[in-house]
């Protein structure tokens, strides 16, 4: 579309988002996804005829790649009629939202997820969505919010000796990386455990280092509000099933987009495998030694599986699976200069890798539709970006007083790393970190627009 028209559309969308956010700032401590009345949800003329999830299927039991929790009240099988409109009015409608036109490919016809969203990670354009703001249990995808909140607080080389109280809150049946009491780990080790093995034990140790689980959860909820992820309410830092713990496909994409600004976040979420410290033992001569074992990323689009190939251009980010949430996943991939984010929540169709298969289908559609399809909304920027852009004397990047918008690492001007691998990596990959500059453009009144190139891995992999 012509530039002035697009600017006007963006201004209207963001103004709507700002007004919506003011109405949605009430605490969500009791926002459990309870039953909601059935709605007609009749599609608009520009809505595709993609099928809605069936109500007959129940989420599978927990699998590796997400925490497992005791079953709680299942979320409603019908999206609420009145959902948030952050990012655009159409994103608050139930059902599939897409602008089909000449030259725009048809959406995949076998999607069964309760909620999904396809967006441009750099511009923030939402290319298509299905129940984008439906508040659902997030499972281990909530670890993205945990990481985006806690990663900046410690350096990789910081160490911590694990005491029993650090692991006291790890839920029964949780996915773990194998942390042992009395052993010392670096922060780097712990984050590998979080991202690769979705280790709830690693999450709880890092939370203990961050003045405890309660403090960490408070910070996570404050950070979600800053990101305008207003559908999200954290109860546990690891995504373990808990009453009132919810997020949405829209919010998980916002959170991933924020996390991917951080170099360490990008490195960890795109690492295929690494060495993790084992137990300390003494050999026959009395010499103390510490072994290690290999851990592999549970993101099957990154590692592949017997019935699933590695997705071309995949760079992360996080998967999850619990009894209550079913399978959830947020992925980022690059192809042909386009970087897309896809979030899929709770496919109804049975199958251990169904969430990845539906994600891959949506990625394929998004790359084919990019540049052809008119967006149905946008991923809004953090609130601090609005404050920065409104400050007198803000520079061209929207950074007032040198503060990076959205709390991101100020690495946009750093030199690309030619081949970055996780320390202690084994059988993994080498990734080139490409960094480009960002731009904040001021619009009229309180409306603002973020249009920046988010620094993502170059996705150049050479398996050893």
Q: Which two three-digit tokens encode residue 50?
A: 């993609």
For the question of residue 140 being annotated catalytic, the response is: yes
Catalytic residue, from 119, 140, 175, 207: name it.
Answer: 140
Catalytic residue, from 21, 68, 198, 384: name it.
Answer: 198
CB atoms within 10 A of CB 347: 28
- Backbone region of residue 139 per phi and psi (left: phi > 0; alpha: psi in -120 to 50; beta: other values): left
Q: Which two three-digit tokens encode residue 380?
A: 């809004």
For the question of residue 54 being annotated catalytic, the response is: no
CB atoms within 10 A of CB 396: 10
Catalytic residue, from 20, 143, 207, 236: name it.
Answer: 143
Three-state secondary structure of 24-57 = CCCCCCCCCCCCCCCCCCCCCCCCCCCCCCCCCC
Residues in the chain: 464
Q: Rounded CA gap, 322 and 140, in Å?
A: 8
Three-state secondary structure of the chain = CCHHHHHHHHHHHHHHHHHHHHHCCCCCCCCCCCCCCCCCCCCCCCCCCCCCCCCCCCCCCCCCCCCCCCCCCCCCCCCCCCCCCCCCHHHHCCCEECCCCCCCCCCCCCCCEEEEEEEECCCCEEEEEECCCCCECCHHHHHHHHHHHHHHHCCCCCEEECCHHHHCCCCCCCCCCCCCCCCEEEHHHHHHHHHHHCCHHHHHHHHHHCCCHHHHHHHHHHHHHHCCCCCCECCCCCCCCCCCCEECHHHHHHHHHHHCCCHHHHHHHCCCEEEEEEEEEECCCCCEEEEEEEEECCCHHHHCECCECCCCCEEEEEEEEECCCEEEEEEEEEECCEEEEEEEEEECCCCCCHHHHHHHHHHHHHHHHCCCCCCCEECCCCHHHHHHHHCCCCCCCCCHHHCCHHHCCCCCCCCCEEEECCCCECCCCCEEEECCCCCEEECCCCCEEECCCCCEECCCCCCC
User: Which residue's entry shows tokens 């800053």?
Assistant: 226
For the question of residue 143 being annotated catalytic, the response is: yes
Q: What is the CA radius of gyration of the chain?
A: 21
Active site residues: 140, 143, 198
């Amino acid at each position: 579309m012509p530039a002035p028209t697009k600017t006007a559309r963006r201004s209207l969308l963001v103004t709507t988002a700002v007004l919506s956010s003011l109405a949605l700032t009430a605490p969500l401590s009791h926002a459990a996804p309870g039953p909601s009345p059935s709605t007609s949800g009749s599609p608009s003329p520009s809505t595709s005829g993609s099928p809605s999830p069936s109500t007959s299927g129940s989420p599978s039991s927990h699998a590796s790649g997400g925490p497992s929790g005791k079953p709680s009240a299942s979320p409603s099988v019908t999206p609420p009629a009145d959902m948030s409109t952050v990012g655009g009015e159409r994103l608050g409608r139930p059902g599939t939202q897409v602008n089909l036109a000449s030259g725009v490919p048809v959406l995949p016809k076998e999607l069964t997820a309760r909620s999904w969203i396809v967006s441009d990670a750099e511009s923030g354009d939402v290319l298509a969505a299905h129940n984008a703001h439906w508040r659902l249990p997030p499972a281990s995808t909530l670890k993205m919010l945990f990481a985006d909140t806690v990663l900046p607080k410690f350096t990789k080389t910081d160490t911590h000796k694990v005491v029993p109280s650090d692991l006291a809150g790890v839920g029964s049946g949780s996915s773990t990386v194998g942390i042992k009491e009395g052993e010392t780990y670096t922060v780097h080790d712990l984050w590998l455990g979080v991202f690769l093995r979705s280790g709830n034990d690693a999450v709880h140790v890092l939370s203990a280092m961050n003045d405890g689980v309660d403090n960490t959860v408070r910070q996570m909820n404050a950070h979600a509000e800053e990101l305008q992820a207003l559908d999200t309410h954290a109860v546990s830092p690891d995504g373990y099933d808990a009453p009132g713990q919810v997020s949405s496909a829209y919010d998980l994409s916002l959170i991933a987009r924020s996390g991917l600004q951080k170099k360490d976040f990008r490195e960890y979420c795109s690492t295929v495998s690494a060495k993790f410290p084992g137990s300390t033992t003494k050999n026959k001569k009395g010499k103390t030694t510490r072994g290690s074992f290999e851990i592999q990323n549970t993101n099957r689009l990154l590692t592949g599986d017997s019935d699933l190939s590695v997705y071309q251009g995949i760079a992360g980010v996080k998967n999850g699976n619990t009894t209550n949430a079913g399978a959830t996943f947020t992925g980022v991939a690059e192809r042909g200069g386009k970087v897309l984010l896809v979030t899929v929540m709770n496919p109804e169709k049975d199958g251990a890798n169904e969430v990845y298969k539906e994600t891959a289908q949506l990625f394929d559609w998004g790359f084919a539709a990019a540049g052809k399809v008119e967006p149905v909304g946008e991923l809004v920027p953090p609130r601090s970006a609005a404050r920065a852009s409104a400050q007198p004397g803000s520079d061209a990047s929207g950074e007032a007083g040198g503060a990076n918008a959205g709390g991101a690492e100020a690495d946009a001007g750093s030199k690309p790393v030619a081949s970055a691998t996780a320390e202690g990596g084994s059988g993994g990959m080498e990734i080139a970190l490409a960094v480009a500059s960002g731009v904040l453009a001021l619009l009229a009144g309180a409306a603002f627009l973020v249009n920046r190139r988010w620094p993502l891995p170059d996705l150049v992999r050479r398996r050893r």
